[in-house]
A and B are shown apart, each in its own frame.
Chain A
């Protein structure tokens, strides 16, 4: 990759049309769309290349490894090793030794980074939900938080495009808070899910077909899902969407995309007139500082990383960081509200064992149902329910609970058989309202191993989120009890206080929000910086609020929309 243009001595022809930072959902979409339009694109990725056939453990069994999935040296027993387990295709984690971050006094926040082509889309949950008008203009209804500068009518065509291209399952339901889309046929509900659905009806909670970025019929040369259920390990057939396999690899075939891996972006370079002219990055392999030039720069490095790059891009013209005249870069940091409750349902004991892995997650979910009830609920915004159950792949940790209860001996196996498939778990994923206590900024005292100043996080949930989390808890307990089951646990390791730790749901958004007013927003409704016309930010940082819809699909849609806008602006000579 050393044959790419470097500034020193570079000629006009070495200038790309677009320099994109970050090969995840936002940067992958932007690169694919722009390269497809004939633009010469340079895509910087802070991590290495991805070779799915070598990296993905989709079909592996625990006994293929002498450590059985506990990780080399049994790292998993000591709380070390790969996040979410050895088999997951997570490249990165909560702590990267060479890239620290700090936390402000009194705050708690965790930041998951995947440094690899495709980023977090290689392993994410693939939940794909559209924002609704109800979400985008929520302030009009309840007076809380800001409105988005775009309405559903603006986004719908791009949700259509994104869903058609990526492939998302679902059914047409006509629920106002959960707009229908262009769907692949979803797999049928599993037996225990039918029971949950029936129970939901009794409680007024609608469980409908899950909407996930998994294709159930072949499109664009990608095979239909083969129901191995191991999406989190990476999908060798690319039936589950990943930006690497679905956006970046095909875009490379156009010949218009140059992929620069192990390229750690430090700052956006600007010229004397305040236009972006490229990106300064550090080549991780050589530790050399390099530049790549472009007529336009698109940041999609992930919500907090893009804010970090902007804040570190200081110059005479932009003393507070690039495009930060509003002071909003890094502000309005939001994550999703999470709370889970697990239970045991004796009625499920003895069900004939069958393949419940399906398409890798529950085949049903419950969109927010209480959208007309907020006045009496006491919190302004809703959540959806994701849930699990069934006969999961046994492995390390499966038997700990039964073993501890049994002491030792034959009873362990007997209980394991009896209880197999009778456990359920419900997780709420709710909207957080942006607040002034939640933001990231540059920590002036610390740089990472690459010499780049690091982020310091401040984070606080307000009563809105806490009340919502209590509603989740009561609702899930109610479902389990109505199932005739007993509650076995409230809150996972991240939720001991009764609400998820900020950042732990990995839905962080909001740090360069869009808006119509340059005094209170960083970007315009097309993800274009108010202050720098040839600079765009197309990851989750452009979000104005963080509705209960997992953000990736909206990032895909907004990035595609920004790409169309950018291409048109370039054609007209505006950028």
Chain B
């Protein structure tokens, strides 16, 4: 995890700045933007880069590191993009937990359960366990989960399965809602163009199917 790729929470002020750009562009009296202004705003929105260092609001340092480790296991870095941690997953989760008591309880309880399982099996916490021990635990959870709901009901892994589903979906969300996740998929929309055309490569791709 590199500091430069962390997405920070002073985004709100930056968003306000974008709003001010939009307002300034329309201040002349027109109630709508023209294409050039729209391009400027869309461009400004895309290129704005985050800064600063995040200070956790809800999770304690141990929990925060555990959430980061899980995020890294769930969405690891590869050649086309960083990990969920690089995408700011721990901050994302911490902020929402700090705003939502119900979610906070899900994380406190779930992380506690993860540590308890690791202590019972390997006399350590999740974050201090070896990678092999960590993946063994996740594999066990996923195996029961894949077997379907009925096997979950009586499984001692039940609370872990339910919590893992939460941290998994939120880590994946942190990744695909981040700049790096959106770049990973090569999404091209939400821009401003003077005309709409379908590129030749896409038309060539579809041609044999028509």
A contacts, CB < 8 Å to B: 52-54, 59-70, 72-75, 77-78, 187-192, 194-195, 198, 221-230, 235-239, 245, 249-250, 347, 350-359, 391-400, 402-404, 407-410, 412-413, 416-417, 420
Asked whether A230 and B190 contact (CB < 8 A) given A224-B35, A352-B205, the answer is yes
Determine which of A70, A194, A225, A239 lies in contact with B173 in the assembled complex, contact meaning CB atoms within 8 Å.
Answer: A70
Q: How far apart are A119's CB and chain B's nearest CB, in angstroms? A: 17
CB <8 Å contact, B15 and A396: no
CB <8 Å contact, B192 and A228: yes
Cβ of B3 within 8 Å of any chain A Cβ, yes or no, is no
| Residue among A63, A187, A239, A417 facing the most chain B CB atoms (10 A cut-off) | A63
Instruction: Name the residue on B nearest A56 (C-beta).
Output: B22
CB <8 Å contact, B210 and A73: no
B contacts, CB < 8 Å to A: 7, 9, 11-12, 14-15, 18-19, 22-23, 26, 30-35, 38-39, 41-42, 45-46, 48, 50, 73-76, 78, 80-81, 88, 91-92, 95-96, 99-100, 102-103, 138-139, 142, 145-146, 165, 168-170, 172-179, 181-182, 184-199, 201-203, 205-206, 209-210
Determine which of B22, B145, B198 lies in contact with A191 in the assembled complex, contact meaning CB atoms within 8 Å.
Answer: B198
Q: Main SS of the interface on chain B?
A: helix
Determine which of A221, A227, A394 lies in contact with B30 in the assembled complex, contact meaning CB atoms within 8 Å.
Answer: A221
Q: How far apart are B208's CB and chain A's nearest CB, in angstroms? A: 9
- CA gap between A239 and B181 in the complex, in Å: 30
| 7 A-B contact pairs sorted by A residue (CB < 8 Å) | A62-B177, A64-B48, A228-B192, A236-B26, A237-B33, A351-B202, A352-B205
CB <8 Å contact, A73 and B96: yes
CB <8 Å contact, A74 and B177: no
Query: Which residues in B have their C-beta under 8 angstroms from that of A59?
Result: 18, 22, 38, 41-42, 45, 190
| Residue among A66, A222, A225 facing the most chain B CB atoms (10 A cut-off) | A66
Q: How far apart are B40's CB and chain A's nearest CB, in angstroms? A: 10
CB <8 Å contact, A61 and B45: yes
Asked whether A198 and B210 contact (CB < 8 A) given A59-B41, A68-B177, A354-B199, the answer is yes
Asked whether A351 and B205 contact (CB < 8 A) given A63-B178, A73-B99, the answer is yes
Q: How far apart are A373's CB and chain B's nearest CB, in angstroms? A: 27
Q: How far apart are B24's CB and chain A's nearest CB, in angstroms? A: 9
CB <8 Å contact, B75 and A413: yes
Query: Which residues in A have their C-beta under 8 angstroms from that of B182?
Result: 61-63, 393-394
CB <8 Å contact, A74 and B193: no
CB <8 Å contact, B34 and A237: yes
Instruction: Name the residue on B nearest A420 (C-beta).
Output: B185
- CA gap between A228 and B188 in the complex, in Å: 10
CB <8 Å contact, B7 and A63: yes
CB <8 Å contact, B81 and A413: yes
Instruction: Name the residue on B nearest A68 (C-beta).
Output: B177
- CA gap between A454 and B142 in the complex, in Å: 49
Query: Which residues in A have their C-beta under 8 angstroms from that of B202?
Result: 190-191, 351-352, 354
Q: How far apart are A569's CB and chain B's nearest CB, in angstroms? A: 32
Query: Which residues in A have their C-beta under 8 angstroms from that of B81?
Result: 413
- CA gap between A391 and B198 in the complex, in Å: 13
Q: How far apart are B108's CB and chain A's nearest CB, in angstroms? A: 15
Asked whether A393 and B187 contact (CB < 8 A) given A236-B32, A399-B176, A408-B73, the answer is yes
